[in-house]
Structure 1
């Protein structure tokens, strides 16, 4: 495996410190003192032209004077000197720089220009920059302390990445007294070059990092951040704090959706989608990290509480309800067991109050019963020190139990002196313990969120979710027609036509440009009807008196036409009015008014919202948010997140709605968002939903021109299913083949394919003896992130069932420019050209991704594969042990 391109930053063999000094309390003095004091294991060079020696080490006037390779430089000199330093470092082969110096983009126009030039020079020489305006970074295990923090850090397995240097210093000070160790500490500063995504990318494969903690103020590159966060969360817990939750966001006035959704909503949706956990405080950051490292198997959110005091049990319950955690309903069997082992006056419900005189035996029975109850997902045990309590013995009873269960078990031993020994006992085990109930419940909430988000993480849906293809060309013509007229807002007719092209049911609408036309159309549609102003210049028609409903006869229609025209002209005299739109009044006794919206986040791109519809949508603000693309699982999560989901079942004598119709509309909207980067905002409001189906009563679409990109999904933070890679082909015998990217739904197909391979073919592919794929392997092979790996599966149809014939895949190497491939074809199609076709298709996909080299390892007795590699122009190199051959090709 190739080295990660950030290795010079994280594991440098040599470091030079520009601005190293003896001047007490200067940044350069502290940085160099830290490097000396931390016992850095590589070569260390102070650079300061003013002195022959710095802190007892020979000083150098420039990097040229060192005359030895330098991998990493740390710069603590005035901002006007930094550009020249980076230029000289580039000439002498330096690959990474930590710029502690401030005074760049954050310092106004002049600093921003300096920053632009700095980045230009760094990119010219291929130097990667951390900072500027940062604290620096640490790797305690190798003695790297390139920071101006007073003191070092313990070595451990937590990586901490922060945009705030000040916060880093506070956490480092806290960590020393709380016995917390770190594998890496990275202060990002302005992060003009190396960003969160790239640091996460490195930490994914860093064996010394077991969990990743992050403090975020903002991100620059959504696609790389989301992709790297997903990859990291697949491998290890990622917990983060993001500040600015309540910052006033710029809100567009063009659509309801844009005024409802803030940047923080979107960030939450992104974090949830990729399997990470967001917390609100620094304390929660570390307590959640400890809990997630305990080896629990979180399976849900139903909490059981065992307590010897009613008050603390109620406190814990209140906090659980605040956080949306359901209190577990104990099974009859659990109640019966507890009746046998608890006093008659126990609570007979959750919280399980085992009475104030409870000792270890009661705790053991109550906690054991709850852990074994299938309706319980986790247990919080609370003890208040009373006269009869035995805090240490009760703690030891829980410790003994904990080894037999993987459900989360948390302890809250309240008080101080009497429970000190019990707390020490808990600290030596995997049971997280707390002083008060509320933080304990919050940590269980984080565990529950982790489980939920890990389920979302496994969802990688396609851009197209339906068998009936949308009329994309007609939809494109509607959008392009508006843009050619220099319009951003589509008319209601255009908006509904766009939705119809994606098979979303809309209410029939017609345009009338005179009172008589309005009457004829109303009679044709049948009374009652609704009339709305038709104007490119009016966005919110209701706000200007441009909507009249329940018009029941000819007189009302004629009067309504004139009333709408007069009212709108008074409020918007400059607006161009193009008659009125008329549609039947939608009368659905069981109908619920909902809203589906799209808005465009400046960082994460398109966002889909779902919630309560109608004219009070912005006041009520009941909605949930998701990043596209969506599939059925994600759509159900989006619906269930809102409070109105309870209104969609049987409600006040109304029949339950057709959920499948609602899901279908949301999936179609997701399709539309993936297909059109021009789609900036959209309101479907109201969407009338009842037991019969869904119908769009009104819609508004806002478009915006975007510069065409070679990446059709450049507008999206999450890369959808790449339909452009689907290929149709034929074997020489006429068998029709489809070569397409693999999907999560292909898990069974892939399992059967591998199972039916000959033992030799399995060995050639996996280089080990195996019978079939494990569940973990199957997940990793079919639930892939298309922006960092690719798997193409060749399938054919037999008796209306897909059969897999071969799979080719690549994964991008840590260097970011090359990839490693694997290929296997079924024994029944060997020698028919399928392997070559798959490899050519795979190389085309890698080339499209901007990769430069593709490589692989082939067993030296796999003669057919070696012949194929030769035909495709791969170079070969036999390994030292003569067992494998490395094959490589420039793309």
Structure 2
């Protein structure tokens, strides 16, 4: 029997999370509590009293013996019982000393409301550094400083200086802005919105978005997570946590700074085209998250998702008793890129039987002004059951014959039996008040005007699409033909040794060729005669371009001449290009002129594929219309690598030029497979060549026969080498380099590989077939069947902060799991906790040792230094394996039935 639990996995899925002292403390001390009206400490302590905190509460103030009617304490030393959380509202210079005192007295979490640290200049930066170092020395987790605080309404925790509390609910709200937090809490109060948690992040010196999201994912009180974001500090951590959270619960966010200017120092077309907001959008879409633009949209989208709707697409049907509102809704739907559903013949037939003859026989479905509840019921029911419809918006305007309440009740009944989104818009005021109250009581989203309702359907549609993007787990390579990575690195290293950041066109094309991207053959001439000989060798017509390290855009410098069809034109063009460039850029160092065959493709479309490096999210791939007017056209879509076939199709679909790639006028459809192949190869380059900063393939000429890179330009920059081969990327690729074949002593062939999302059924079957003893050793609990949430957490990992290696064999043509080893990185980022379990019939056959050594190697390669875990003291086989592998074994101080095992990597 080989099975060991990892406490980290245990804490996240079954037991207490390490942030529990922050979100569920049994005792709280408030430093700076006072009776001085409107002092921050006075408001915080008053909030704690008025929210009826379900734990022990201690005001700390050395100058008072009583605060707001409660006994006050001079320090933690005067409190005779343990304190789990402290809230600090004292002057900045006192905070490091308070944290030191907290460490001495075993406090594990602190909320620092005090401002005046890094945002206050040099002295504040020094103070904040001292504060963080002290907290880390004692293992104290910090929220803040300079924050509003934290709320957990279900236990009466209101450790904020917000004036007033909030209602308990199932929405968690995390915000980087304390001021905006107060506005939202005020809005929520008047809109009857409740919260499971409210966290104001402040300066985020310690606990960041990633760790808070990690807690909220495993929090049973939280059904959806809302976020207000101003900036991201650690993209990998943010994306990792966001993707993990979005797999289990809806995550909706607002991000400010949408129109920040891009870098003016960009050296390529790609970099000048992409703004930071494009990249942020691409990142959150890939994370399976909804991004909205306003606070109202934030909550209405959350309410819609909490209704149990299952959005499956973007085809909207509209049912209305007035033509005008139907047109308003249709216009907004088209603005947002939604598709107006085409009703099926069966739906039209059904509606013909239940609607007046003069209904328009199309979408929007106008049920006519005198429609009552039965007509609404039939029209909406027919649309919900139509396979061509993904969601329905029902609009009612109060007219002489309408029955707003009865019609509302009819639709509420339909929502109980249908999972497609059904949104309602009862327009008006007094005549529809009872209907709106009915929608409220049924917790169904409703709107006063059509446009916001359509916007919410667009958010639901985006959620469905982004969840599909989230499920994509591409590796760095999607091809059978391996690229020549070594040659590509030698090209880059050669330029770096010459202290050049810009590769020549020849070098750039050689880089593409190393990754099997078709390029136009190019040769360099250093005299008019040499140019003539090369042109004759390549065949007329030819294109000629200046070859210089110093020139970014050749056309702008007069350094390009096309369609040269004879010897005289080539000789004349050579000198003309040299003269043009020398006049416009006299300082540029010229190294001859490159000559290549003029690519003549009558049906060719000029495209551009680019790479740029975002300061937050790292490499970004762009696609769009190409040619010399690329900036004017501004047609591009962006995506974060790595890409696979599905993601590439989505990237192309988002551009305007995608329509021109189909049959267009007299041109046959372009070869989409060739385009997709080039995009996949570019993704591969980005993954494997971390020194690439920018790249343009412009134009990439695509016709019915294939693709050809007519011109290319690459910019590189030095990066510090890392143990993590994909440290430059925000999304970690599926680690295909960890896949390996192995054989048991009896000859059974195994594949050991990282787990994939589609392994869920195999994992469920594997756990189901384990003996009760193995299950208990692994989970330290009487688990019989993994829940859906547990399956998601076990199989949908991002390979950056956690890893799971499964041993698979094939039986009767199907994969079967035989064992799994996994680790999860601890909050310190340097150590990890492991779990291991092997099928009962394979004990003693070496599989457990093989999985553990493979796992430890993977952890070592990610830069982790220590691996640790927990083993029950009667799990003798596991303890023997730990001894063989050189682990240190000690009895746990918290529970003597558990052995703590650890090993330096």
Q: Is the TM value for this pair above 0.5?
A: yes
Find the partner of 1:283 among 293, 296, 303. Answer: 296
Classify the secondary structure of the residue corresponding to 2:545. Answer: strand
Q: 1:877 to 1:338 in 2, by over 3 A?
A: farther
Find the partner of 1:429 among 422, 432, 442. Answer: 442
Structure 2 residue 368 is matched with structure 1 residue 355: yes
Q: 1:670 to 1:762 in 2, by over 3 A?
A: farther
Classify the secondary structure of the residue corresponding to 1:380. Answer: strand
Per the alignment, residue 566 of structure 2 pairs with 553
Per the alignment, residue 821 of structure 1 pairs with 835
8 A Cα contact 1:212 1:236, kept in partner: yes
Once the 2 structures are TM-superposed, how far is the Cα of residue 324 of structure 1 from its aligned partner?
0.4
Once the 2 structures are TM-superposed, how far is the Cα of residue 49 of structure 1 from its aligned partner?
2.3
8 A Cα contact 1:858 1:886, kept in partner: yes
Per the alignment, residue 12 of structure 1 pairs with 25
Per the alignment, residue 338 of structure 1 pairs with 351
8 A Cα contact 1:606 1:628, kept in partner: yes
8 A Cα contact 1:762 1:770, kept in partner: no
Structure 2 residue 333 is matched with structure 1 residue 299: no
Structure 2 residue 451 is matched with structure 1 residue 438: yes
Per the alignment, residue 818 of structure 2 pairs with 806
Write the deviation string for residues 705-730 of structure 1: whole angstroms up to 9, x where unpaired. Answer: 01111111111111112244344544
Which structure ranks higher in relative contact order (CA pairs < 8 Å, sequence separation ≥ 6)?
Answer: 2
Structure 2 residue 251 is matched with structure 1 residue 238: yes
8 A Cα contact 1:819 1:851, kept in partner: no
Classify the secondary structure of the residue corresponding to 1:794. Answer: strand
Find the partner of 2:616 among 583, 596, 603. Answer: 603
Per the alignment, residue 739 of structure 1 pairs with 752
Matches within 5 A, 1:60-79: 60-66=73-79, 68-79=81-92
- Name stretches of at least 5 consecutive residues in structure 2 with no aligned partner: 1-9
Matches within 5 A, 1:856-875: 868=881, 871-872=884-885
Q: 1:857 to 1:64 in 2, by over 3 A?
A: closer
Matches within 5 A, 1:469-508: 469-508=482-521
Provide the C-alpha distance between the structure 1 equivalents of 2:740 and 2:365, rounded to a whole number of angstroms. Answer: 60
Find the partner of 1:213 among 198, 207, 226. Answer: 226
Classify the secondary structure of the residue corresponding to 2:511. Answer: helix
Per the alignment, residue 3 of structure 2 pairs with none
Q: 1:250 to 1:115 in 2, by over 3 A?
A: farther
Per the alignment, residue 47 of structure 2 pairs with 34
8 A Cα contact 2:836 2:848, kept in partner: no
Q: 1:108 to 1:776 in 2, by over 3 A?
A: closer
8 A Cα contact 1:5 1:814, kept in partner: no
8 A Cα contact 1:753 1:826, kept in partner: no
8 A Cα contact 1:276 1:453, kept in partner: yes
Find the partner of 1:80 among 93, 111, 123. Answer: 93
Write the deviation string for residues 84-126 of structure 1: whole angstroms up to 9, x where unpaired. Answer: 3223333333322222122222223333333333323332333
Provide the C-alpha distance between the structure 2 equivalents of 1:744 and 1:436, rounded to a whole number of angstroms. Answer: 41
Provide the C-alpha distance between the structure 1 equivalents of 2:254 and 2:738, rounded to a whole number of angstroms. Answer: 38
Write the deviation string for residues 23-61 of structure 1: whole angstroms up to 9, x where unpaired. Answer: 111111111111122122222222222223222223333
Provide the C-alpha distance between the structure 2 equivalents of 1:119 and 1:4, rounded to a whole number of angstroms. Answer: 21
Once the 2 structures are TM-superposed, how far is the Cα of residue 261 of structure 1 from its aligned partner?
0.9
8 A Cα contact 2:643 2:683, kept in partner: yes
8 A Cα contact 2:540 2:566, kept in partner: yes
Once the 2 structures are TM-superposed, how far is the Cα of residue 877 of structure 1 from its aligned partner?
8.6
Write the deviation string for residues 324-364 of structure 1: whole angstroms up to 9, x where unpaired. Answer: 00000101111111111111110111000111111111111
Classify the secondary structure of the residue corresponding to 1:701. Answer: strand
Provide the C-alpha distance between the structure 1 equivalents of 2:453 and 2:562, rounded to a whole number of angstroms. Answer: 53
Per the alignment, residue 643 of structure 2 pairs with 630
Provide the C-alpha distance between the structure 2 equivalents of 1:778 and 1:111, rounded to a whole number of angstroms. Answer: 45
Provide the C-alpha distance between the structure 1 equivalents of 2:306 and 2:750, rounded to a whole number of angstroms. Answer: 46
Find the partner of 2:807 among 773, 794, 804. Answer: 794
Provide the C-alpha distance between the structure 2 equivalents of 1:620 and 1:270, rounded to a whole number of angstroms. Answer: 24
8 A Cα contact 2:871 2:879, kept in partner: no
Find the partner of 2:384 among 371, 374, 394. Answer: 371
Q: 1:501 to 1:366 in 2, by over 3 A?
A: same
Q: 1:29 to 1:430 in 2, by over 3 A?
A: closer
Classify the secondary structure of the residue corresponding to 1:367. Answer: helix
Q: 1:517 to 1:288 in 2, by over 3 A?
A: same
Q: 1:796 to 1:468 in 2, by over 3 A?
A: farther
Q: 1:228 to 1:584 in 2, by over 3 A?
A: same
Provide the C-alpha distance between the structure 1 equivalents of 2:591 and 2:104, rounded to a whole number of angstroms. Answer: 66
Residues paired across the two proteins, number: 884
Write the deviation string for residues 536-594 of structure 1: whole angstroms up to 9, x where unpaired. Answer: 00011111111111111111111111111111111111111000111111111111111
Classify the secondary structure of the residue corresponding to 1:608. Answer: strand
Provide the C-alpha distance between the structure 2 equivalents of 1:594 and 1:614, rounded to a whole number of angstroms. Answer: 7
Matches within 5 A, 1:534-553: 534-553=547-566
Provide the C-alpha distance between the structure 1 equivalents of 2:120 and 2:797, rounded to a whole number of angstroms. Answer: 42
Superposition TM-score, scaled by structure 2 size = 0.92
Structure 2 residue 310 is matched with structure 1 residue 271: no
Per the alignment, residue 6 of structure 2 pairs with none
Provide the C-alpha distance between the structure 1 equivalents of 2:571 and 2:337, rounded to a whole number of angstroms. Answer: 52
Provide the C-alpha distance between the structure 2 equivalents of 1:121 and 1:768, rounded to a whole number of angstroms. Answer: 40
8 A Cα contact 2:768 2:784, kept in partner: no
8 A Cα contact 2:819 2:837, kept in partner: yes
Per the alignment, residue 57 of structure 1 pairs with 70
Per the alignment, residue 785 of structure 1 pairs with 798
8 A Cα contact 1:825 1:834, kept in partner: no
Q: Which moved more, 1:642-651 or 1:500-509?
A: 642-651
Structure 2 residue 106 is matched with structure 1 residue 106: no
Classify the secondary structure of the residue corresponding to 1:593. Answer: strand
Once the 2 structures are TM-superposed, how far is the Cα of residue 745 of structure 1 from its aligned partner?
6.2
Q: 1:559 to 1:668 in 2, by over 3 A?
A: same
Write the deviation string for residues 402-421 of structure 1: whole angstroms up to 9, x where unpaired. Answer: 21110001111100111111
Once the 2 structures are TM-superposed, how far is the Cα of residue 742 of structure 1 from its aligned partner?
2.9
Write the deviation string for residues 766-786 of structure 1: whole angstroms up to 9, x where unpaired. Answer: 998989x99988766544221
Provide the C-alpha distance between the structure 2 equivalents of 1:687 and 1:83, rounded to a whole number of angstroms. Answer: 58
Find the partner of 1:716 among 729, 742, 749. Answer: 729
Q: Which moved more, 1:80-89 or 1:249-258?
A: 80-89
Q: 1:79 to 1:754 in 2, by over 3 A?
A: closer
Q: How much is the aligned-residue C-alpha RMSD, in angstroms?
A: 3.0
Classify the secondary structure of the residue corresponding to 1:240. Answer: strand
8 A Cα contact 2:173 2:198, kept in partner: yes
Q: 1:583 to 1:744 in 2, by over 3 A?
A: farther
8 A Cα contact 1:306 1:353, kept in partner: yes
Q: 1:93 to 1:832 in 2, by over 3 A?
A: closer
Q: 1:28 to 1:624 in 2, by over 3 A?
A: same
Classify the secondary structure of the residue corresponding to 2:548. Answer: coil
Q: Which moved more, 1:190-199 or 1:283-292?
A: 190-199
- Name stretches of at least 5 consecutive residues in structure 1 with no aligned partner: none
Per the alignment, residue 588 of structure 1 pairs with 601
Q: Which moved more, 1:96-105 or 1:670-679?
A: 96-105
Provide the C-alpha distance between the structure 1 equivalents of 2:441 and 2:336, rounded to a whole number of angstroms. Answer: 29
